[in-house]
Amino acid sequence: MDQIVNVDEFQELAKQALPKMYYDFYNGGAEDQHTLNENVQAFRRIMFRPRVLVDVSKIDMSTKILGYPISAPIMIAPTGNHKLAHLEGETATAKAAAACNTIMIVSYMSSCTFEEIASSCNAVRFLQIYVYKRRDITAQVVKRAEKAGFKAIVLTVDVPRLGRREADIKNKMISPQLKNFEGLFSTEVRPSKGSGVQAFASRAFDASFSWKDIEWLRSITELPILVKGILTREDALKAVEAGVDGIIVSNHGGRQLDYSPATITVLEEVVQVVRGRIPVLLDGGVRRGTDVFKALALGAQAVLIGRPMIYGLAAKGEDGVKKVIDMLKNEFEITMALSGCPTIDDITRNHVRTENERLHSML
């Protein structure tokens, strides 16, 4: 593993380690996969404006999210079915997150139970949820999360229906039975054609859930609520007005609406309308420590990594996840030093130049 020097190399190892159906499930996006690819490419069009002759002999990457300290602004995004990547599933991911002193957002579609993950190690964890047609199931899951010591609820809001993921349709991807829903309803669907994941989602998810229902969610939990899936200033404002405790700028890793914008390109408009009232996080396309810096310069408090962590898990289990996080942290630390930023607070909008600004300067 010492020869692996970046996240892309872990992706290649994961491709070799996983059956094609599972690799395609983790790696694929919706339809033409334009948004999936643009998430990564958009970061590459942002340039640095580094400052020199600053004392960077000590670099402090630490920050706080909802008051919880983490070693660097790099968290683990919610992704489902980790046991398809590694036998230890989410417990391996959780242990790696704890070892790296960061927050893992556990997916509602986790292949390990919430209780198994909670007891695997001592760490701060959030739980991501969807709202099901049967609200009592969502309520039960939220109560279990509270009892298991989870510290926040992350409501994913961009899946009234599942995006059209053509690789899963071709592969006839099977949705495995999930232990968290045993005794509540079956999550196993074996379709005669197409994706089992899509068949399960259309049967279970509540497409009628809307802004007014945030109040219902707040009524069943004392935990902070973050909304994941915001891509416009209009919805960011609605989220603030609904009284949520945080926003995650996300396009579901390019797996939902293709040709929705790359998250890094809309981060700033969300940050501007939120005006510091609640934290704004970002996921989608983060593959380098330089990407982390760019997101913070444009106003994010932290980034979430999804696929890179899955690649590490598939290739090398818990150690692979740790290595991915450590690589990103090391790259981020070097970027801070070379940009003249000894602390997170020193990273400002003046440290980056977006593509629009470059084009404008040419006119």
Q: Known catalytic residues?
A: 252
Q: Is 329 annotated as a binding residue?
A: no
**Contact between 37 and 259 (Cβ < 8 Å):** no
Q: Is 255 annotated as a binding residue?
A: yes
Q: Is 55 annotated as a binding residue?
A: no
CA dihedral 174→179→180→185, nearest 10 degrees, is 70
3-state secondary structure (DSSP) of residue 293: helix
Rounded to the nearest angstrom, the gap between the alpha carbon of residue 286 and the centroid of all alpha carbons in its chain is: 10
Q: Is 78 annotated as a binding residue?
A: yes
> Which is it for strands 74-76 and 302-305: parallel, antiparallel or unpaired?
parallel
CA 265, CA 314: separation in Å to the nearest integer? 30
Q: Is 283 annotated as a binding residue?
A: yes
Q: Is 287 annotated as a binding residue?
A: yes
Q: What is the CA angle 12-248-73, rounded to 5?
A: 65
Rounded to the nearest angstrom, the gap between the alpha carbon of residue 81 and the centroid of all alpha carbons in its chain is: 14
Q: Is 11 annotated as a binding residue?
A: no
Tell me the sheet residues that pair with 48. Answer: 352
Q: Is 284 annotated as a binding residue?
A: yes
Q: Is 221 annotated as a binding residue?
A: no
Q: Roughly what angle, to the nearest 10 degrees, separates helices 307-339 and 7-17?
A: 170
Q: Is 351 annotated as a binding residue?
A: no
Q: Is 203 annotated as a binding residue?
A: no
Q: Is 277 annotated as a binding residue?
A: no
H runs (alpha helix) in the chain: 7-17, 20-27, 34-44, 89-99, 114-120, 135-147, 166-171, 196-204, 214-219, 233-241, 263-274, 289-297, 307-339, 355-362
Question: What element of type H or E holds 225?
Answer: strand 225-230
Q: Is 252 annotated as a binding residue?
A: yes
Cβ-based neighbours of 6, under 8 Å, separated by 6 or more = 287, 288, 327
CB atoms within 10 A of CB 350: 9
- Please enumerate, by residue number, every residue annotated as part of a binding site for glyoxylate: 165, 252, 255
Annotated binding residues for FMN, written as ranges, equal 78-80, 107, 128, 130, 156, 228, 250, 283-287, 306-307
Q: Which residues are annotated as a binding site?
A: 78-80, 107, 128, 130, 156, 165, 228, 250, 252, 255, 283-287, 306-307
